[in-house]
Amino acid sequence: MPPSFSGQLINVLAALLLLIAFAMLSQRRVLSLVYLFAWQGLVLSVSTAVVAYSTGQHHLYYSAVLTVVLKVFALPWILHRLIIRLNVKWDRETLINIPTTMMIGIVVVIFSLNLALPISEQASTVTRHSLGVAIACVLLSFLMMITRRKAIPQVVGFLAMENGLFFAATSATYGMPMVVELGVALDVLVGTFIFGIFFFQIRETFDSLDTRHLEKLKER
Amino acid sequence: MIQSLLSQALQTVLIVALAPLLLGWVNQCRAWLQNKSGAGVLQPYRVLHKLFHKDAVLAEHASSLFRMAPYLQFGCMMLVASIVPILATDLAFSAAADVIALVGLFALARLFAALAAMDVGTAFGSMGARREMLVACLAEPALLMVLFTPVLIAQSTSLTTIVETIAHREFVLYPSLAFAAVAFYMVALAENARIPVDNPATHLELTMIHEAMTLEYSARHLALIEWASAMKLLNYSAIGIALFLPWGIVTAGDWLLMPLALVALSLKLLVGGAGLALVETLSAKLRIFRAPEFLGTAFLLAVLGILVRLALER
Amino acid sequence: MELIVLLGMPLAGGLLLALYGHKDRAGELSAVMSFLTLAAAAVLTARIVGEGPIRVLGEMFFVDSFNVFLVALTAFVGFTTSLFSLPYMRNEQHAGKLTPARLRLYHSMFQLFMFTMLLALLTNNLGILWVAMEAATLTTVLLVSLYRTPASLEAAWKYFILCGVGIAQALFGTILLYLAAEKVLGAGGNALLWTHLNEVKGQLEPTVVSLAFVFLLVGYGTKVGLAPLHSWLPDAHAEGPTPVSAVLSGLLLNVALYAVVRTKVLVDGALQNGVAGNLMMGFGLFSVVVAAFFLSRQKDVKRLFAYSSIEHMGIVTFAFGMGGAVATFAALLHMTVHSLTKSAIFFTVGHAAQKSGTQLIADIRGLVVTNPTIGWGLMLGSLAILGIPPFGVFASEFLILTTAMHEHPWATPILLVALGVAFAAVFGKVQTMVFGETSGKRLPHPPALIPVFVHLALVLLLGLFIPPYLADWYRQAARLIG
């Protein structure tokens, strides 16, 4: 018994999200990373809108609009400006080479799909199957943060992780209550600004955005 | 029974005969895209004709393996051509149409090509064989992974069953099949020695893979190899069509629909060939050491397809 | 009403100081704001103790004896810290380490930080709790990097990234909790209200809730500084300005632990077994052991006491994990005395470092000669935090240890050994700092350390005699947590 058409559409979008997460994991150019992040936001808001349409949950329309404004335009724009101002283009070396990262990524996806199985059986939403994909997106972004050396990719990973969590919320429960969602959005926005301030501080102090300079404080 | 034998014979002959035509069409499209006039779609036939009328020259140290290899490659491709359902699913050999056997047949052909290339002991032959095996050992697992997604959907490894399941059910969006299709396309490019992994139109020592293996061949042997590789391209297209675009393939007993199936097939091949030419024109050849990354991506996509199938489409 | 003042004061303070924080009297303004917050907290506390739990503004806020006790503590330490930072920050400015613009940032962010913590404590909505916790991270990140030295930037970056990742896990835990709650309570804002969840906690789906708790514990546990997720904590404490270290250690860790305990109550109700408690005990014990062994390797005095905070948070987590009236009582008491003592220690350490111009233990010598007030303050504070009777820390640690001996005998020797190691490490280092040979001269004017001695006096009082109404209050809270 195949799911309804909107269910299938959400599955397609979930698969796209997973693909974008992998693309981000393999992307070496910082600007492309930001564009991918914007695409991720777009797919996210489309899927939220589809869920809203198919379930009649009106508050999801608002969060879809919020997602578009914040994650497709505002945050990528801020990051884009920052990258141009700071003149960083490449993230030359990652800590682990990219094919290995990909293999780890596949293991991560399998792990998260297994993790999601018991939960998605409890959920009653049409979108419950995509919960595994959501967890996978969160963990893949986490992996990206671990494997990158430069500050900006780490931040994009951080934001992508939030995207994954948002997707998890829509797919498991049709979204959190509006107050909470607004609060989370505010936190993310403020967080990005603070990251931006940080970039300038770090570069002013170290003349580079390489986080290798940030490994001096260790237990001796 | 007779019907199935008939459609079997028709399909095999069709593929063997049409293979150079597809190659010619792709080359012609590419020439057009590059603003050249091109040699015409029939050029591969002319080349084959020319080669068959020449006298074969063999290297001094060539063993019988060297002479046997072209026939083996041609045979393997013909066998593949007869088991992939491209016109009708009601084929006499359909019992043998197993996706894993299919991968095995391709592997067998490649094994002999590589052995023969090393047989003469020239530097280029060995180098080509080595590179071919490098590409193959990455492409084959990816191909298997690609095939598993439709296998999971149809719950069977038989190509006939897969085609029948996918072609005859209500329209369902399969993100997993989309992943598999993209991965398959990438594997097909690598396996058929196309850009961006290899360039079929060049004999540049530093970059060539497939061409390096055939340098020592001449006349009818070379003709068979060229023909076999043309068939390989058509076979891959056929598999792609059977797995991902099976609409229009005739199921058992519907002989009246055969002309329609032929039209559908030629349309798909026309579009597919033009698409291949477009991709080849738009992309640049990768360095040989980037090929593993390319195929790794294909493998990744294929695995994602399987995972998406298992996770989302329940 | 009190509640609006309580939340409004720091928020208004934060906004006001964002505009006027660079002026001369900004520190005093901050102190006044903090005092008003404290007054509101006191009135609220009196009301809760008298009337029992209340819900305010359509159940948006919920105050019971558990959180009101932390609110009072937070407001109190916030007030004393703002008093302390008056002379401290002025000295920093004179030393040329801070510009007026940075000072404005400091005052404004300090007030906003107080606001986020109070919001986290008072809100009834677990989602808002998360938002407030994240906001608390955001407000303190720029405080940690206030000096803009390479080390402080690194500490702040680590703090931001690690806590950001951690708090993301907590968000996922919250989502899962909402998933479980929504099935019982229906969709909408009510399903995340703690009071509603508490009423139906027996019906929540056990698998989902237990998974949610794991994520919440890991997420908020990162902020509590539980090992192995503690690595941001020593850096942030060591590199930030001292008042910030004091409130991070004394208050933020408590608030994060509060979040864990609130969810533990729900999870215990849903699971009807001790899984949540056991997890907390495991994390707590591990943190105690890890911290104890790192203590002896520290060369920086603020890092030393940061690790001591990890150790004490571990003890409290362990005690909450054990559960039961006595252990919970002891945990609440320990939270209180640790907050008071640790902030007092950071105050003295801040002055000591400011006077000596270094944070290295090896370079701070003979405080008792150069500056007796600081020397004795540090000695007494360290003795208090190490659990020497008659200070309050002794009382709470004693209670925790005896309960552990009854219920989990295997854990007692581990705790005792860790406490012993910690004692040896801290005492040895503090002893040389206070009484070591020094060539330094006695400084002309002693610093104002009133907050330190007020804190220590309170801790001493709690060790000798817990006022009956306070004990009642703890007991009420302990009953709530179970």
Distance CA B215, CA A141 (A): 48
Contacts of A207 (CB under 8 A, 6+ apart): none
Q: Give the dihedral sign, CA C347/C352/C354/C359.
A: negative
Specify whether the CB–CB gap between C78 and C251 falls below 8 A.
Answer: yes
Q: Could you count the other beta carbons within 10 Å of the beta carbon of residue B185?
A: 20
The pLDDT of residue C418: 93
Q: Is the distance from CB of C103 to CB of C26 less than 8 angstroms? A: yes
pLDDT per residue, tens digit, chain B (314 aa), is: 677 787 788 888 888 888 888 888 888 888 888 888 878 888 888 888 888 888 888 877 888 888 888 899 899 988 888 888 877 777 777 777 788 888 888 899 888 888 888 888 788 888 888 888 888 888 888 898 988 888 888 888 888 888 878 777 766 778 888 888 888 888 888 888 777 777 777 666 666 777 777 777 888 888 898 888 888 888 888 888 888 877 767 666 666 777 888 888 888 888 888 888 888 888 777 777 778 888 888 888 888 888 888 877 66
Tell whether the torsion through CA atoms of C88, C90, C96 and C97 is positive or negative: positive
The pLDDT tens digits for C192-234 are: 888 888 888 888 888 888 889 999 999 999 999 898 888 889 9
Report the 3 state secondary structure along B166-212: HHCCCCCCCHHHHHHHHHHHHHHHHHCCCCCCCCCCCCCCCCCCHHH
Inter-CA distances, A79 with A137, A208, B184, C359, C413, Å: 21, 17, 36, 37, 53
3-class SS at B120?
A: coil
Find the Cα–Cα–Cα–Cα dihedral C10, C15, C18, C22, rounded to 10°: -60
Closest residue in A to C135 (Cα–Cα): A187
Using CB atoms, which residue from B172, B311, B314 is nearest to A133?
A: B311
Residue labelled with tokens 């005990």: C281
Give mean pLDDT, residues C92-103.
86
Q: Are C402 and C415 in contact (CB under 8 A)?
A: no
Let me know: does C81 contact C247? Beta carbons within 8 Å.
yes
d(Cα A168, Cα C171) in Å, to the nearest integer?
10
pLDDT > 70: percent of chain C = 98
pLDDT tens-digit readout, C252-272? 999 999 999 999 988 988 888
Flag if B179 and A19 touch (Cβ within 8 Å). Answer: yes
Q: What's the burial of B126, exposed, middle or buried (CB within 10 Å: 0-12/13-18/19+)? A: middle
Are residues B299 and B183 in contact, defined by beta-carbon separation less than 8 angstroms?
Answer: yes
Task: Please choose, from the candidates C132, C96, C109, the residue with its C-alpha nearest in 3D space to the C-alpha of residue C21.
Answer: C109
What does the pLDDT read at residue A1?
Answer: 42
Question: Which residues make Cβ contacts (< 8 Å) with residue C350, sequence separation at least 6?
Answer: C84, C88, C241, C242, C243, C245, C246
Q: Chain A residues with CB-CB distance to B under 8 A? A: 2, 5, 8-9, 11-12, 14-16, 18-19, 22, 26, 98-99, 102, 105-106, 109-110, 113, 116, 129-130, 132-133
CA distance A62 to A79: 24
Of chain C, the end-to-end C-alpha distance in Å amounts to 30
The minimum CA-CA distance between B40 and chain A, rounded to whole Å, is 40
Question: One-letter amino acid identity for C13?
Answer: G
Both structure tokens of B137: 């050992």
CA distance A158 to C220: 17
Per DSSP, the residues of C326-383 read HHHHHHHHHHHHHHHHHHHHHHHHHHHHHHHT--BGGG---HHHH-HHHHHHHHHHHH
| C347-360: pLDDT as tens digits | 999 888 888 888 88
The pLDDT tens digits of the residues spanning C275-310 come to 888 999 999 999 999 999 899 888 899 999 999 999
Mean pLDDT of C324-334: 89
- Residue A3 is given by DSSP the state P
Nearest CB to A179 within list C128, C164, C238: C128
Cβ contact (<8 Å) for B173 and A8? yes
Q: Is the ipTM of this complex over 0.90?
A: no
Nearest one of C408, C276, C391 to C338, comparing CA atoms: C391
For CA atoms B192, B198, B202, B206, the dihedral sign is: negative
Structure tokens at A198: 């940080």
The string of DSSP letters for A24-63 reads HHH--BHHHHHHHHHHHHHHHHHHHHHHHHHHT-THHHHH
- Considering only CB atoms, which chain B residues are within 8 Å of A19? 179, 301, 304
Nearest-CB residue to B313 (from A11, A102, A105) = A11
Q: Do B300 and A12 touch (CB under 8 A)?
A: no
Radius of gyration of chain B (CA): 19
CA distance A6 to A182: 26
Any A CB within 8 A of C161 CB? yes
Average pLDDT of span C122-129: 90
Cβ-based neighbour number of residue B204 at 10 Å: 11
From A8, A18, A129, residue closest to B314, measured CB to CB: A129
Neighbours of B131 (CB within 10 A): 21
In A165-204, the residues whose Cβ lies within 8 Å of chain C are: 165, 168-169, 172-174, 176-180, 183-184, 186-187, 190-191, 194-195, 197-198, 201-202, 204
Please enumerate in sequence order all residues whose Cβ is within 8 A of that of C54, keeping only pairs 6 or more positions apart, or say none: C47, C48, C62, C63
Give pLDDT tens digits for C399-419: 999 999 998 899 999 999 999
Which residues from chain C sit within 8 angstroms of residue A187, using beta carbons?
131, 134-135, 138
- Token pair, residue A146, equals 């671990």
Residue A220 has pLDDT above 60, yes or no: no
Pinpoint the alpha helices (H) of chain B.
Answer: 2-33, 43-52, 64-83, 99-119, 123-154, 159-167, 175-191, 210-213, 219-244, 258-282, 291-312
Q: Which chain A residue shows the shortest CA-CA distance from C127?
A: A180
Q: Are A154 and A148 in contact (CB under 8 A)?
A: yes
3-state secondary structure of C62: strand
Contacts of B76 (CB under 8 A, 6+ apart): B105, B106, B108, B109, B228
Closest to B160 measured CA to CA, from B120, B101, B115: B101
Element (H, E) at C478: helix C468-481
Pairing of strands C54-56, C61-63: antiparallel
Mean pLDDT over A70-99 rounds to 78
Q: Measure the CA–CA gap between C310 and C224, rounded to whole angstroms.
A: 8
Residues A155/A195, Cβ–Cβ less than 8 Å: yes
Residues of chain A contacting residue B175, judged by C-beta atoms under 8 Å apart: 11-12, 14-16
* CA-to-CA dists, residue C158 to A34, A217, B224, C80, C231, angstroms: 22, 10, 64, 28, 8
Residue C446: asked if its preceding bond is cis (omega within 30°), the reply is: no
What is residue A210's three-state secondary structure?
Answer: strand
- Can you tell me whether residue C54 is helix, strand or coil? strand
pLDDT score at C445: 61
Q: Is the dihedral of CA B92, B96, B98, B102 positive or negative?
A: negative
Quick one: tokens of C158? 């680590």
> Quick one: which of A151, A150, A160 has its CA closest to A94?
A150
The helix (run of H) or strand (run of E) holding residue C68 is helix C65-94
* Chains B and C touching, counted as 3 or more CB pairs less than 8 Å apart: no
Rounded CA-CA distance B209/A33 in Å is 34
DSSP annotation of C96 = T
pLDDT at position A2 = 54
For residue A41, what pLDDT band results from cuts at 50, 70 and 90? very high
